[in-house]
Amino acid sequence: MKRNKYAELSALKGKMRENKITYRELSKDVGISLNALNSKLNGYTPFNLDEAAKIVDRLDIDSEDIVRYFFPTMLRNVIKVG
């Protein structure tokens, strides 16, 4: 069984629920398969910049929140240092 690499990606799933957007809808909007989106949302494979940009637009994510949703490790390091 695969282990979830980045549990922090649950924030992105929460943003999807908040906007009432299904995996199927988002995968279509991003232009990737449902399986690929699921793998990315569960942290098994990373989002590329184009995919992240499309998700930011679709979910109306503020620019200052991008790190929180897509780069949780970076955020964790900033919090430790700051």
Domain coverage including residue 25:
7-81
Percent of the chain with pLDDT over 70: 77
Average pLDDT over residues 42-67: 91
The three-state secondary structure class of 45 is coil
Q: What is the pLDDT of residue 44?
A: 85
32-45 pLDDT, tens digit each: 999 999 999 988 88
Q: Are 58 and 47 in contact (CB under 8 A)?
A: no
Query: Do residues 69 and 11 touch, judged by C-beta distance below 8 A?
Result: yes
How many structural domains is the chain composed of? 1
Query: Which has the higher per-residue pLDDT, 26 or 68?
Result: 26
16 domain-assigned: yes
Residue 24 lies in a domain: yes
Which CATH number belongs to the domain containing residue 37 in this structure?
Answer: 1.10.260.40
- Rounded CA separation 82/73 (Å): 14
Kindly give the residue spans of alpha helices, DSSP state H, lying in 19-82: 23-30, 34-41, 49-59, 66-70, 72-81
The model's pTM: 0.78
User: 11 lies in a domain?
Assistant: yes
> What pLDDT score was predicted for residue 36?
97
Any domain includes 30: yes
Amino acid at 81: V
> Would 1 be classed as within a structural domain?
no
Examine residue 2 and state whether it is found in any structural domain, yes or no.
Answer: no
